[in-house]
Amino acid sequence: MTDSPQQEYDPGDVAVIGMSLRAPGARTKEQFWDNLVHGRESISFLAKDDIHVDETLIHSPFYVRACGVLDTYDKFDPSVFGISDRMAAAMTPENRLFLESAWESLEDGGYDPDRLVAEIGMYGANNPQTAALYSSPPDRVSVGPEAIEASLAWSPDTMTSNALYYMGLTGEAVTVAAVCAGFHYAVHLACQSLLLGQTDMAIAGGAMVRLPHPRGHLWEENRILSKDGHCRPFDANGTGTALSSGVVTVLLKPLNHAVADRDHVYAVVKGSAVNNNGVSAMAYGLAQPERLSACIASAMEVGGVAPDTVSMYEANGLGLPVTDELEVHAATMAFGKQTATTSIGGVKGNVGHGGVVSGGFGAIKAALALYHRKLPATINLTEVNPDLDFPGTPFVPQLEGADWEPEAGIRRAGITSIGGGGYNAHLLLEEAPTPARRAPEVEGRPRLATLSALDDDALARQRTRLREWLEANPGLRLDDVCFSLNLGRKVMPRRWAAVVRSRAELIAALADDARGPATTTAAAPRTDSDGFSRTDHGIVPSGRDERALSELAAAWVTGRQVDFAALHVGEASHRVPLPTYPFRPRRFWRTDW
């Protein structure tokens, strides 16, 4: 799958080549980034009728009716995965969300699960309590195969193996239990497997659905949950955070291989580290500064990175003065005395505390900050807590959004995640390497662009989303777009194709239904004189002119199998991010068996 790279990179570097996110206020990572750069808070303040918990609890004067609501927590599109409605209802919401997110990460990276000949590791964290709150487990001992299948759909343990199975992949499957540090632990284990050569690519992440949903919380003095529902990282008036839900996954591959395979790289994992406090002088569950400091320093040591080159620190940042002080103290010990300044921020002010996926929110924020070269502001920070003594540390609170211009000349970000029970984790990300200089795209060359979906409505939505994406991203090359569409998407029954010579022609074709025939998969008549060559993987045209490609397009939309790899052989096109499949989620919910 990998050609010999022209340039060698650090063998310990792992590329982030695909990402998927659903968070409060954001269905996609692009919406999430837009919320961050515009300083939007995505915590919802609820009416009593919106909350389904004990009436006595709601009427408590200390009950805070605020949380980060996940709009799609109870919805799923089983048809894409060939899952029955009955099984979809049996699956826990975290199982369903993780499956869709893993699919999106793979597509975002430009890979079709049906054409992958590789070992794909699957690593994910979830909340075991969610399954118990969703429904009772089926009895897998005294009944038949259907109940056994349902129990595997329900079980928190099988979240990652379910994702491999329903996506048609093979590889390792590891479901992680590390409470709020779960996302970081999943990425850490995935990177280890990749660097040991046990897997070719890996999907790592986490899913969290807090039930009942939506819900608030009870405020208690000096606990981590906020008195007014707002999270104020590093603020003197902070009282904690709000609860939220979400799902985040990333697609990972060794950097050397990613560059050789012409993958799109969002960021590079330079190092990761995990540890646990064990017995300490701190209260159980609070950060132990010496152990957290050791974890942060270990990630930098693993990556061979000097602390004065890390110019963004994305903190765990619960917004409670005592926990923020412990974390800043730990990070200061890890970074040591230096003259370089490091931006410090916390995403919980935007989206609250997502439990096992909270570190994922911070990691996606950091990866997109590296990608866009911008530092989003930490919202709800109006009066910096003087006890944090920032002037005596390398850290400067990010009070306003800014372009990221590092003193060290390279952009690097550290992301900390802390879990109750003494779990510490730290990821160190670096900006993607500068792409090699490429020859200009050949203008006016005809190219084939394809889309497919399960039904006409999804196909129409795909055309609309791709057209809007191309209009919003004028720097995308036509050859890269066609390469990514033709090789990076699962082939489905309803199909659309166009032969175009420019981006403008492709945009026009996407907007013109008449230019895009879509048919069922009834096979077209096969003859020996139809102008196609045949390989083991389908047909290819005998030429690359417009007429030959148009004949190929017509054959493909009528159900013929096309060898797109052979069609693109010899090209230097790159995979680029494009809109992923437009799931049509429906509500599936079950509270009894």
Domains along the sequence of the chain with CATH: 14-431 (3.40.47.10), 464-568 (3.30.70.3290)
The pLDDT, as a whole number, for residue 3 is: 42
Of 49-63, 296-310, 440-454, 533-547, minimum mean pLDDT range: 49-63
Our CA angle for 201, 98, 167, nearest 5°, is 55
The answer to whether the CB of 418 falls within 8 A of the CB of 316 is yes
Question: CA–CA separation, 249 vs 367, rounded Å?
Answer: 12
The pLDDT, as a whole number, for residue 526 is: 43
Q: Is the peptide bond before 214 cis (omega within 30 degrees of 0)?
A: yes
Q: How many CB atoms lie within 10 A of CB 501?
A: 14
pLDDT bracket for residue 513 (50, 70, 90):
low
Polymer length in residues for the chain: 593
pLDDT for residue 557 is more than 70: yes
Question: CA–CA separation, 110 vs 440, rounded Å?
Answer: 22
Strands (E) across 420-520 are located at 423-431, 447-453, 494-500
Which of the two residues, 160 and 150, has the higher pLDDT score?
A: 160
pLDDT bracket for residue 6 (50, 70, 90):
low
The pLDDT, as a whole number, for residue 152 is: 86
Q: Name the percent of the chain lying above pLDDT 90.
A: 83
pLDDT for residue 408 is more than 50: yes
The pLDDT, as a whole number, for residue 222 is: 87
Which of the two residues, 137 and 570, has the higher pLDDT score?
A: 570
pLDDT for residue 281 is more than 80: no
pLDDT for residue 5 is more than 60: no
Mean pLDDT of the chain: 92
pLDDT bracket for residue 202 (50, 70, 90):
very high
Our CA angle for 288, 248, 354, nearest 5°, is 50
Burial class (CB in 10 A: 0-12, 13-18, 19+), 493: middle
The pLDDT, as a whole number, for residue 591 is: 62
Of 197-211, 300-314, 348-362, 434-448, minimum mean pLDDT range: 434-448
Q: What would you report as the CA-atom Rg of the chain, rounded to the nearest whole angstrom?
A: 25
Helices and strands of the chain, counted as H and E runs: 18, 23
The answer to whether the CB of 470 falls within 8 A of the CB of 432 is no
The pLDDT, as a whole number, for residue 592 is: 54
In Å, how far are 114, 155, 160, 163, 348 from 120, measured between CA atoms?
A: 12, 21, 11, 11, 31
The pLDDT, as a whole number, for residue 527 is: 44
Average pLDDT score over residue span 236-260: 98
The pLDDT, as a whole number, for residue 437 is: 87
Residue 107 has, within 13 A of its CA and on its CB side, a CA count of 20
Average pLDDT score over residue span 245-266: 98
Q: How many CB atoms lie within 10 A of CB 522?
A: 8
Q: How many CB atoms lie within 10 A of CB 1?
A: 11
Average pLDDT score over residue span 167-192: 97
The predicted-structure confidence for 459-481, as pLDDT tens digits, reads as follows 999 999 999 999 999 999 999 99
Q: Which two tokens stand for residue 266?
A: 């969002």
